[in-house]
Amino acid sequence: MSAAEASGHRGTQRLTLSKAINAGLRRALETDPKVLLMGEDIGPLGGVFRVTDGLHKDFGPDRVVDTPLAESGIVGTAIGLALRGYRPVCEIQFDGFIFPAFDQITTQLAKMRYRSRGRLSLPVVIRVPYGGGIGAIEHHSESPEVLFAHTAGLRVVTPATPADAFVMIQQAIASPDPVMFFEPKGRYWDKGEVDLDTTITSGDTQAGAAALAEMDRAHVARTGTDLTIAAYGAGVATALRAAEAAAADGVSIEVVDLRSISPLDAPTLVASVRRTGRCVVVHEAPVFYGAGGEIAARVTEECFYHLQAPVLRVGGFHTPYPANKVEHDYLPGVDRVLDAVDRAMAF
């Protein structure tokens, strides 16, 4: 430990998104003895993506728990632990493996607080590496976030940058509500500056409420005047690259990083679209019945008299996730985003 760390001051470091999540988990484990991690191979191995690397060694097997290959059992156990006052953080190894736990998540975890009229809360975080771009096989590159956003009682969030990843995982753990924490695994190796002095204490009710308010808030990642791109997770970097390319052609694009899919920070997005008059929604998940449909509907309802073009959506196709050799034809890239921008600007 350095002198700065010993004094409590860690400063700013340049970290990958995966390392930022690791640092956020470490901070939560340090500050609250009721926080524990659960998942397949998260112990000595450090997880498939090494997101929990070193935590088993430093905090022991009682707080970083290697579980059996049983997603329903992982979440069911976490629910019981939460009822006993713990704050479990579950890792689902890959997005496509979450469905055995779908019943536990949607019928128990999401509904317990409502069912008990607020007397019981389940502060459970479920970490889900999601999305494509890593050349994986079937069931390893899906984007099921809308299934959980549709379920009342769950918070669904996704960081797009290392700085957000470090803070948002702590905010999620501090939440009294269950949080689905979707991690864009195609961006795990993207680097950014992270302020390691930010600490959210999960045992502090007031701090928890403030953390939730910030976790739910969208950020304007790039300002512009002609069109708004609303994106989240891996789509934010794609949107920013598209905005850079469009600027060379004289089109000024504002990029809104939604960060939270449920609840949706509509006021921030609406304010942006009212300024620009146009909106394109970008996500990796299929466009058909995707999160973009809800976002487009909300924007249309609240910006109808400001819109100069229909709200357009760019995303995956309505097919099972394809073989890795053609996944880049499936994923929305800069060219497809720019095509939507051109169509919106043509009105």
Q: Is the pLDDT of residue 47 over 90?
A: yes
Under 8 Å between Cβ of 218 and 260: yes
Q: Is the pLDDT of residue 198 over 90?
A: no
Report, as an integer, the average pLDDT of 155-178: 96
Q: Is the pLDDT of residue 252 over 60?
A: yes
In a domain, 3, yes or no: no
Residue 212 pLDDT: 67
Report, as an integer, the average pLDDT of 246-273: 97
Residue numbers annotated as active site: 140
Residue 8 pLDDT: 60
Residue 214 pLDDT: 85
Q: Is the pLDDT of residue 78 over 70?
A: yes
In a domain, 341, yes or no: yes
pLDDT > 90 in the chain, percent = 90
Report, as an integer, the average pLDDT of 36-54: 97
Residue 213 pLDDT: 75
Asked whether residue 231 falls in the same domain as residue 178, the answer is no
Sequence letter at residue 63? R
- Backbone φ and ψ for 100, nearest 5 degrees, come out as -60, -20
Residue 3 pLDDT: 42
CA-based nearest residue to 190, from 144, 224, 235, 248: 235
Asked whether residue 239 falls in the same domain as residue 199, the answer is no
In a domain, 292, yes or no: yes
Q: Is the pLDDT of residue 5 over 80?
A: no
Domain boundary among 165, 188, 215: 215
Q: Give the confidence band of 25 by pLDDT, cuts at 50, 70, 90.
A: very high
Per the structure, how many domains does the chain have? 2
Query: Per residue in 55-77, pLDDT tens?
Result: 999 999 999 999 999 999 999 99
CA distance 76 to 120: 16
In a domain, 175, yes or no: yes
pLDDT > 70 in the chain, percent = 94
Entry pTM: 0.94
Asked whether residue 169 falls in the same domain as residue 239, the answer is no
Asked whether residue 80 falls in the same domain as residue 187, the answer is yes
Asked whether residue 192 falls in the same domain as residue 262, the answer is no
Picking from 134-138, 233-237, 248-252, 338-342, which range would have the lowest pLDDT averaged per residue?
134-138
Q: Give the confidence band of 203 by pLDDT, cuts at 50, 70, 90.
A: low
Report, as an integer, the average pLDDT of 155-182: 96
CA distance 225 to 237: 19
Domain boundary among 177, 197, 215: 215
Q: Which domain holds residue 303?
A: 219-345
Asked whether residue 174 falls in the same domain as residue 226, the answer is no
CATH number, domain containing residue 18: 3.40.50.970
In a domain, 2, yes or no: no
Asked whether residue 167 falls in the same domain as residue 260, the answer is no
Exposure string over 245-284, b if 16+ CB within 10 A, otherwise e: bbeeeebebbbbbbbbbbebbbebbbebbeebbbbbbbbb
Residue 204 pLDDT: 57
In this structure, the strands spanning 260-262 and 155-157 are antiparallel
Asked whether residue 208 falls in the same domain as residue 260, the answer is no
Picking from 1-10, 149-158, 194-203, 315-324, which range would have the lowest pLDDT averaged per residue?
1-10
Q: Is the pLDDT of residue 285 over 70?
A: yes
CATH number, domain containing residue 254: 3.40.50.920
Q: What is the mean pLDDT of the chain?
A: 94
Domain boundary among 192, 215, 238: 215
Q: Is the pLDDT of residue 257 over 70?
A: yes
Q: Give the confidence band of 206 by pLDDT, cuts at 50, 70, 90.
A: low
Report, as an integer, the average pLDDT of 34-48: 97
Residue 56 pLDDT: 97
Report, as an integer, the average pLDDT of 4-19: 78
Residue 7 pLDDT: 45
Asked whether residue 145 falls in the same domain as residue 129, the answer is yes
Asked whether residue 182 falls in the same domain as residue 291, the answer is no
Tell me the β-bridge partners of 342: none
Under 8 Å between Cβ of 147 and 202: no
In a domain, 58, yes or no: yes
Asked whether residue 169 falls in the same domain as residue 229, the answer is no
In a domain, 32, yes or no: yes
In a domain, 77, yes or no: yes
Q: Give the confidence band of 10 by pLDDT, cuts at 50, 70, 90.
A: confident
Residue 207 pLDDT: 59
Asked whether residue 28 falls in the same domain as residue 157, the answer is yes
Residues near 311 by Cβ (< 8 Å), separated by ≥ 6? 279, 280, 281, 295, 296, 299, 300
